[in-house]
Amino acid sequence: MRQQYSSYDETVAFFEAAQKTHPDLFKVEYIGSTWESREILCVTISKDMKNADAKPALFYTGTIHAREWAGIELSLSFAKYILEHIEYDPRLIAILERATFYMVPCANPDGFEYSRNHFSFWRKNRRQNADGTFGVDLNRNFSVGFSPNKITSSNVYSGPSAFSEPETLALKNFVEDHPNITIALDYHSQGNVFF
């Protein structure tokens, strides 16, 4: 089953190739680095790339929980749809002319790769905690609703402080640097559902 899902490296390669073939539609950048030194991919999708940051934007993040692999696949499917339909879909063209999409296909690259290669149900990132346990639940590491939790082995360990993790700090900094973001969508999937 794992072969049906793209790895983080395959995802990065796909978007870098899309940028090479369609630089007018796709821009790849890296907004931070994880504990295991993976670069955090962010993709800008818009027509007229030089004005992308001036248009109203949607900010999409996927796979903040390592085991929720569908987040990456959704971003890939969306990008493939754009590549296959941009030449003749007037509605898609109109949307991309007046709006911008910022996508972080995988907000937790270390955890995702650990989940793919070692333990499918891994949820957190790969921070090595002081007591020898691993990981912080990135979804609970933001400042809004931050609740300290001292049990580092817990699947919902929120970290030593809000934005203590390079992944959440990278997302925060990106959003603060892009005041044109008007809506954010964080894609989750668990079991047979997604939300």
Position 189 scores a pLDDT of 79
CA 82 to chain centre: 18
Q: Which amino acid is at 122?
A: W
Q: In what order do the strands lie in the sheet with 100-104?
A: 26-33, 39-45, 100-104, 57-62, 181-187
pLDDT at 195: 53
**For each of the chain's 195 residues, which pLDDT tens digit applies?**
566 889 999 999 999 999 999 999 999 999 999 999 999 999 999 999 999 999 999 999 999 999 999 899 999 999 999 999 999 999 999 999 999 999 999 999 999 999 999 999 999 999 999 999 999 999 999 999 899 889 999 999 999 999 999 999 999 999 999 999 999 998 877 665 555
Query: What does the pLDDT look like over 166-176, one tens digit per residue?
Result: 999 999 999 99
pLDDT of residue 2: 60
pLDDT, residue 152, reads 96
Distance from C-alpha of 54 to C-alpha of 45, rounded to nearest angstrom: 13
The one-character DSSP state at 142 is S
